Amino acid sequence: MLGARGIGAHFVAENLEQIGRAAGPLVSDPERPVLEALLRAGVAACASVPRTEVDGSGPLVLARSLFVQALLGSQRMAALTVIQEALREGTSLIDVYVEVVQMALYEIGRLWAANRITVAQEHMATAIAQYVVAQIYGQLPASSVQRGRAIVTGVEGELHQIGANMVADVLESLGWEVRFLGTQMPHQGILDAIEEHRAGLLGISATMLFNVPQVTRLLAAVRQRFGDRSPKILLGGAAFRDAPALWEDMGADGYGRDLRDVIRLAESVALDATVGPVAG
């Protein structure tokens, strides 16, 4: 993103190192490993620019291309039609969400980072994708399987919710009793929702790196309030994608790189006989 705007990666690396020197003495002991892990990942990423192009292969590549065109053209009904047609042809909801919606949004993000579309276009595309996900939710079949109770949320300061929204929808379609809290959720409200819902699973999404400290604080608050009764905590979102081991430093129970990964982890939680509600 910065490269497309004339700012070299070495400047970013130097800034990260300066942040580490300045912030190191100011953070608490529990927060220091998280800060150090973030800075290491950032400096390492600056050393080699990752490949950002979206994979152009697979059976849904045409649907994905049409969906991207509809998003960029502000064509809400056309975008919805693309997804509905894919579902009518027998494609699973998970495949549609991952191969079409998720990958299309990655492409939109790449175009914005490369300075090829405006912030307004990126916001419009995200809003249309959110509309499509909302419309598809009403078509989800009710599951006869009971897997457990889950809370899916963002933290205070998190503005991106479509990824977490898709996770909540798919979990529900697979038999979870899900409460999706959206984003910008105060920690106290999340804690109260866990207690009230008796959730055995907590999914937390963060897109921007500057929200990671809030995730750390939420994890600490959950452990402090519920102790041995704490739900299993899974993390997801772009904030963790370039630091795949960060979730361990933060004390979470798992990290899902994409929707399929999150669902796989949730299924392992459902099979864990020791997982139960946090309150009697």
| Domain 148-271: top CATH class | alpha beta
Residue-range domain boundaries for the chain: 3-47, 61-137, 148-271
pLDDT for res 280: 42
pLDDT for res 72: 96
Does residue 132 sit in helix, strand or coil?
helix
Provide the CATH number for the domain formed by 61-137 in this structure: 1.10.1240.10
pLDDT for res 5: 65
pLDDT for res 155: 92
Give the residue carrying structure tokens 């299309």: 104
Contacts by residues 98-102 (CB-CB < 8 Å, ≥ 24 positions apart): 98/258, 98/259, 98/260, 99/58, 99/59, 99/60, 99/63, 99/64, 100/60, 100/63, 100/64, 100/67, 101/67, 101/129, 101/132, 101/133, 101/162, 101/166, 102/163, 102/166, 102/258, 102/259
pTM exceeds 0.75, yes or no: yes
CB count in 10 Å sphere of residue 155: 23
pLDDT for res 278: 47
Closest by alpha carbon to 229, among 178, 195, 179?
195
pLDDT for res 48: 65
Please give the Cα distance from 49 to 60 (Å, whole number).
27
pLDDT for res 191: 97
pLDDT for res 51: 47
pLDDT tens for the 280 residues of the chain, in order:
677 666 777 778 888 888 888 988 888 888 888 888 888 888 887 876 554 445 556 789 999 999 999 999 999 999 999 999 999 999 988 899 999 999 999 999 899 988 899 999 999 999 999 999 999 988 887 788 888 999 999 998 888 899 999 999 999 988 999 999 998 899 999 999 999 999 999 999 998 888 999 999 999 999 999 999 999 999 999 888 877 788 888 889 999 988 899 989 998 877 663 344 444 4
Please give the Cα distance from 107 to 110 (Å, whole number).
5
